[in-house]
A and B are shown apart, each in its own frame.
Chain A
Amino acid sequence: MEKESTSSAAAEITFGEISDVILTALKPPRLLYRILVTVLGLGGIAALWLWVYQVRMGMWVTGLSIPVGWATYITNFVFWVGIGHAGTLVSAILHLVRSRWRTAVARSAEAMTVFAVMTAGLFPLVHLGRVWVCYYIFPYPSERQLWPNFISPLVWDVCAISTYLTVSTIFWYIGLIPDLAAARDRWTQTEGPDHPRSRFYRRLALGWSGSGNQWRHYGRGYLFFAALATPLVISVHSVVSWDFAMAQLPGWHSTIFPPYFVAGAIHSGLAMVLTLLIPMRRLLGLERVIAKEHFDAVAQTMIVTALIVGYAYAVEPFISWYCGDLHERQFAFWRATGGIAPLFWALPTLNTLVPLVFLYRPARRSLVCLFGVSLLVNVGMWLERMVIIAGSLAHDFLPHNWFHYCPTWVEIGITLGSFSFFLFWFFGFTKLAPTVSISDVKEDRTEGSRRYFELETNAAPTAEIGGTGLRVVGVFGHSERLLDALRKARAAAFERLETYSPVRLREAEQIMGRGPSPVRFWTLTGAVCGVTAGFGLALYAALVNSLIVGAKHPVSIIPYCIVGFEGTILLGSLANLMAILHYARLGGRSKLASAYDQRFSRDKYGLVIACGEREIESARSLLESAGSEEVHVVRS
């Protein structure tokens, strides 16, 4: 293996180089890539064909049976949902705890999340006996006045997965906007404004300019997203685990499932991050931004998740013994010694013992080792779900029902197809959008070197300025100079100011004194509406249906908490998105301000002073005195 760039080298990289490295990776792909993507696409289509075949023939084409009615498909579902956990964990939780290593891996992990949840979401459909009436599970007003059963874990699943897909997609896209603007500017510069790529990125960047005002709302909104997504991450796999834990089947009926599943999900998600990023980094030439220390950090996190998963493996048989229940004991014994034993013992080996090699620093630094372990953990985590799902079903209460399971070519084909489908999207993503967050990496480079300081100013907040009028634009090569100019401008009583920057400048926001973004109000409003709507929907549905199931009352408040929770997150996130778009003036028709310069998305900072004809000179001299590299006047 070729000598890799060191972390110190990565730290020394300039803003311009960051943009170059990441955006150069988007250059038109080679033939091999095109062939590969075609093959992956065809793989997805083949799986679709298999699914159509299954729908047409009936579920007998699978290896399922009574009692083993769930196996490969639901395993795939849980596996892919699990993969989808790392992305949001990295972007949301690590964002909140300001963990620095997230910046290099967050973007691709988020993309992985979106595609994995997309893939996962197909499997509940694939496993249905009558997929053509799958819409019965959604809450919609039908003429039969029949609503779904909000007590059923499967309905919780629908709520959780659809919320998760929506929120993680928004989260991913919001994070992409500044980078899409950088891509837009680069392609406009090199290929001209009419190049398809330029148009593509211009459309997607929604008119992002990196103005101080946009950064202010954006930064606030992003924080709330992270705050909403964090409990969601924890909840989604808890809900998935309740698909099993709510049943009374030995092997499923267990209170440790939610933390066990969440830890397992993050474990497998991080493994998948390694599996995808190690080759991607090499193929796209991202060695300078994704450093080995980032992989090291992922590996260290995996040690934690491996130990949690290992703890769960140890607790399960203990509880089976300790609870004294005959069925549980016999089941635990059978799992360890029966026909399923080889698979069962593979789990602690692959998922706990193997990742423990990361306790040795050289193992965390060896790409071969990282990649190998990540593959083994992926396999182990898939098997874990299979053992839990099919294994428990195969060995239930009445011994005469005990059965076995073996997947058929239809199930194997659809499973392989799901990997094709997932990789197809991921490969597409690597050539269409920046795979590493440019603005985050840049911010990461600056944050450590700068000190926060309190601005002693009682001046009134500056006003926002519109897109047209007389503008004096100062271009700066360093953020400190911009801030210096900004302070001077305020001291000189220029009140109509705007900054442009490739990263968020919190000091600039303080100096501008515009106060906290109102995005937070709308997010709260959305969240409150969401909790009300969630509970309201479940209650209304229960009262309309008024059906007794399992000797429970038609209205059962406790399960509705899940619906309420998902509603909170979903509507909170949507309201947050709307508020960001509104306040930051982002949207399809937004035009860039005339004072905007394409260098502002790369490595330059701009201070724009809106003034009258008479003040041009004083503004110009102010900017020049603050160290502006270039000052020009824009009239429009």
Chain B
Amino acid sequence: MSAYNISRRTFLKNTAGTGAVLALTPAKKFADKLIPYIHPPPETRPGVWSLFSTVCRECPAGCGMQIRHMDGRAIKAEGHPDHPVNRGALCARGQSSVQGLYDPDRLSQVSDRARGAESRRVDWAGALSRIGAQLRDSGGRVAILSDLQTGALAETMIQFVRAFGSERLLSYEPFNYEALKAGHEKAVGLPLIPAYRLEGCDVILSLSADFLETWISPVEYTRAFAGSRSPADRGRLIYAGPRLSMTAANADDFIQVPPGAERWLALGMLKAMAERNWHSADAAAWLPALAGAVDMRAVETATGVPASRIEALARVFAEAKGSVALAGPTGATGEAAVETAASAMLLNLAAGRIGQTVDFSRPHALSRCASKDETIRFLSDLTDKDVLIVHGTNPAYSLPGGLDLVRRAGTVVYLGTMMDETAELATWCLPVDSPLESWGDYEPCDGTCGLMQPVMARLYDTRHAGDVLLEIARRAGRPLMREGTATPPARFEEWLRARWTERARKAAPGQSFDECWTESLRQGGSWEPRADIAPVKPAPPANPQPFVPKAAALPMPKDSAALWAWPSVMLADGRSANRGWLQEAPDPTSTIVWDAWVDLHPDTARQIGLAPGDVAELENESGRIQASVRLTDDVGVHVAAVSFGQGHTALGRNARGRGANAFALLGKPAAGSVFGVVRIRKINRQAELVSPCATQDQHHRDIVQWTDLAAAGDARQGGAERVSLPLPEGYDPKRDLYSPHAYPKHRWAMSIDLDRCTGCGACAVACYAENNLPVVGREQVNKGREMAWMRVIPYRADDSRRLGFIPLLCQQCDAAPCEPVCPVFASVHNDEGLNAQVYNRCIGTRYCSHNCPYKVRRFNWMDAEWAPPLDRQLNPDVTARSRGVMEKCTFCIQRIREIEHNAQRENRAIRDGEIKPACVQTCPANALVFGDLLDPQARISALTRRDPRRYHVLEELNTKPAVVYLRRVKMDEIA
């Protein structure tokens, strides 16, 4: 007891000392607010999820989002189940929007950088006053270059430029689909991007249109495309293009043609349709004339496809119940791209698809984007007296020569969230709210109007772009007013409400505005019924001549190749390149991470003297880039394919100085080409490309399995082949040493339809977002230390032109090999069948990983760092694991528990489909189904027990996985 025998003196000394230490050291730990509200709003309950609807502004597709929000923080983005565009799904970029919100490199300070001077921090009032004063004094020479906006913000911008006596407002998107618009104008007289209705298509012909990745509205199209992949009524995707893109890898027929030859293929098909009379009645007026102008031998030469196959394609296309031809590629502006778009639309027209699968009555908002020429003209007109306001777009990066063009303006005011290349040029950098902090609305096509609301309090001292414009105008003495209103609104939010009041009055005259507004906020917008809109009639072409290209192929010098720039499903136009989740997400087909590279055919590379890992320099009139070379026959000979999105010189720590910027090569392409031609030169440097996948060769191990359509539909054949279920009924005394054990309440399981899975990787990124997975960086990925709990692996079929994407996550085996080898019971089986991992118990022997045949466990090699404020995105329901522990997927056990808790509280059973792990929730293709095997009515029960396509990966190991895969369907190619 002597240890406790403290004298009064000692006690007082110790107390005083401790007190002094506590008083004098800054209490850093307590400074950060755990819950941002001192008095939380009554509807915010601590520790309970709430959902806020908004619109995803990562691309112009305009998907609806729900942001999962807890304790004052937006944690996770999910697709809004009611939104007509995406119906609950979200792509990888949409998933990463919260990472954009918490980007540690986000602009947080107003800064003033007079040309040539150091950047200075200023306050909002001063900055806005000075900009306003300059506009007032300079006679109001103002121009606005904005990303694609519709609705209230677009109105504000129009009013702003008008207030200063100007019409100079331009919607600029790097991918403006101008070739599509020009082609459609040429073909049917409508310079629009129509709505494509892929739901009703049993044949989709894609002419280099990567509609599953980035093309116009990929989530919408993926959902529709996946819908056509039921074995009972399976559609067909035909892809013609020079590169095996992710979309092409999903095609049943991938026809590799040289760049620009897609249009020849379409013309050949048109000719066949004309000759065989496979066209609609209306087409008789114009089609024969066109067919007469097409020489089938020229078609064969250009495409390398025999006439008989073209004919067969034409027949399939024409005789389908519903078919559509889509034209790409994204980002192309060349003459050939325009002709491709035109001939694709003629195919649609000839087959009578306009009004059926192609709907010009609801053109996409992208139709409003300016073309590249218009943008260049717009910027070239600037003088040093002009004030150029750039909003949310980055022409200095994505427009060849954009850097100099933007500099022409005397004053550049940048409204954005990131210090990108354009922001670095700006005189005034005004940090605006991220889309997730903003009010707003966005209408991707007529009648689908999404409503945005702030999903959390502002992180920094930022303002809404609309408010900034209103304030500048006010300070310049020209307050803005919405047309039809009497008083200038104080804030942008009022403008938005005024606009929605008008909408509500029109849409539902009886309802009160408040009801309409609340309802719209809840469902994330409002959608009108389709009948309101009158169909648009296309004008068939009068003269067929302009559609037939002059030369079949461009002469190609030996050291040159046709450039083929393609946007990756992760980075697209590069605006989100600073997000670790997207940089670390492998490219679906090449699985390369954190880089941009050049794909060359081995023959082409040999000619130039390039080996894998060599750095090549690509050069044309508009610029030059350097990137590592990958040799693959995924691209045709004399094609150099480079992805967009990398090669930033600014934007942030993850994006800067990484890879190459393909936009630099996209000047005015040579006549008759898609992207033009580049000269390739070997650089005396090596740079390794990093990928988390060692190989795509299956080594005959049948990891991804294919089946033919007949077998897929034949329940008897598939039914005979048994899988050992992770249930007592899967017990076989001949094979199992231990007697079965029953699950008392649930046995969670998942099925993954490989025929639906397009490989987009949204599930993997959603898993990063939901489960606090750290981003480890390029170096560590190269050392085999990426932390993805779920990976989508592209495996090649024997013919190597077919990819099978297999999402691999923990298989939650019944006889899990990982469990018994753990010395400390950190890996245990729970009574709902999950392989639970007890992080606090784990001592890090890594034996569980060694014994896992699927290698889906991840070891924490280092303490993860979340640069503030990225740490605020961490899901409070999921532990952030420390270094030295093994971690893994548990079917988002936190979500299972949440629903179980709710169901118990409401005294009801859990509904089938109610629990959605993050990957299941976001899958645009609906390939993943989750549920309870003990519920005989559940979808998962039917799929696991009866689907003829079901199989287990490595079934022979008798691990009895709870993840059942449905075989990919191999259709006979059209010959």
Contact = CB atoms under 8 A, between A and B. Distances in A.
Chain A partners chain B: yes
Interface of A: 57-60, 63-70, 124, 127-131, 133-134, 136-137, 146, 148-149, 151-155, 158, 243, 246-249, 252, 326-327, 330, 393, 396-403, 545, 547-553
Given A60-B780, A551-B815, A129 B842 contact: yes
A548 B829 contact: yes
Given A57-B862, A154-B821, A400 B846 contact: no
B885 interface: yes
A63 B819 CA distance: 25
Contact of B884 (A68, A129, A137): A129
A66 B815 contact: no
B694 A399 contact: yes
15 contacts: A59-B884, A64-B846, A129-B883, A137-B843, A148-B825, A155-B823, A247-B847, A248-B853, A398-B701, A398-B793, A400-B696, A403-B694, A549-B819, A549-B827, A550-B820
A70 B861 contact: no
B822 A149 contact: yes
B843 A128 contact: yes
Nearest to A553: B738
Contacts of B433: none
B960 A130 contact: no
A326 B700 contact: yes
A326 B701 contact: yes
A146 B823 CA distance: 12
B373 interface: no
Nearest to B787: A66
B845 A129 contact: yes
B862 A60 contact: yes
Given A399-B701, A400-B695, A549-B816, A133 B843 contact: yes
Contact of B820 (A129, A152, A330, A393): A152
B731 to A, nearest CB: 9
Contacts of A551: 736, 738, 740-741, 814-816, 829, 960
A63 B783 contact: yes
B859 A400 contact: no
A106 B550 CA distance: 93
A526 to B, nearest CB: 26
Given A129-B844, A130-B885, A400-B695, 13 more contacts: A65-B784, A69-B850, A128-B884, A129-B860, A136-B843, A148-B823, A149-B822, A152-B822, A153-B821, A401-B855, A548-B828, A550-B816, A551-B815
Contacts of B408: none
Contacts of B860: 58, 129
A69 B847 CA distance: 8
B883 A402 contact: no
Contacts of B492: none
B957 interface: yes
B824 A136 contact: yes
B494 interface: no
Nearest to B857: A66
Contact of B697 (A70, A247, A399): A399
Interface in B849-891: 849-851, 853-855, 857-863, 882-886
Contacts of A149: 820, 822-825
B869 to A, nearest CB: 24
A114 B401 CA distance: 74
A131 B842 CA distance: 10
Contacts of B858: 66
A326 B955 CA distance: 13
B795 interface: yes
- Residue of A63, A545, A548, A549 contacting most chain B CB atoms (<10 Å): A549
Contacts of A158: 823
B817 interface: yes
Contacts of A550: 815-817, 819-820, 829
B850 A249 contact: yes
A548 B820 CA distance: 9
B843 A70 contact: no
A58 B884 contact: yes
A57 B703 CA distance: 37
Given A136-B841, A153-B821, A551-B829, A69 B846 contact: yes
A247 B849 CA distance: 10
**Interface size class, chain B:** 35 or more
Contacts of A127: 845-846
B930 to A, nearest CB: 22
Contact of B703 (A68, A246, A249, A398): A398
A247 B860 CA distance: 22
B687 interface: no
B699 interface: yes
B859 A69 contact: yes
A396 B699 contact: no
Contacts of B738: 551-553
Contacts of B851: 247-249
B820 A151 contact: yes
A284 to B, nearest CB: 41
- Residue of B829, B857, B886 contacting most chain A CB atoms (<10 Å): B829
A431 to B, nearest CB: 38
B700 to A, nearest CB: 7
B865 to A, nearest CB: 11
A66 B855 contact: yes
A65 B783 contact: yes
Given A67-B850, A247-B821, A551-B814, A399 B859 contact: no
A397 B739 CA distance: 27
- Residue of A149, A549, A551 contacting most chain B CB atoms (<10 Å): A551
B96 to A, nearest CB: 24
Nearest to A59: B861
B849 A67 contact: yes
B785 interface: yes
B785 A66 contact: yes
A135 to B, nearest CB: 9
Interface string B314-348: 00000000000000000000000000000000000
B954 interface: yes
Contact of B825 (A59, A547, A553): A547
A130 B701 contact: no
A391 to B, nearest CB: 13
B312 interface: no
Nearest to A250: B853
Contacts of B816: 549-551
Contacts of B693: 400
A326 B954 CA distance: 11
Contacts of A326: 700-701
Contact of B784 (A66, A136, A243, A553): A66
B845 A400 contact: no
A133 B822 CA distance: 14
A400 B824 contact: no
A152 B847 contact: yes
A130 to B, nearest CB: 4
Contacts of B902: none
Contact of A549 (B703, B829, B849): B829
B825 A58 contact: no
A425 B531 CA distance: 90
A137 B957 CA distance: 28
A583 B601 CA distance: 85
Contact of A130 (B741, B784, B884, B953): B884
Kindly list the 3 A-B residue pairs having the minimum CB-CB distance in the complex, ordered from nearest.
Answer: A129-B844, A65-B784, A129-B884
A246 B853 CA distance: 13
B686 interface: no
Interface string B807-842: 010000011110111111101110000000000011
B852 to A, nearest CB: 9
A572 to B, nearest CB: 25
B793 A400 contact: yes
A127 B821 CA distance: 16
Contacts of A327: 701
A606 to B, nearest CB: 54
Given A129-B846, A149-B823, A553-B738, A398 B855 contact: yes
B667 to A, nearest CB: 39
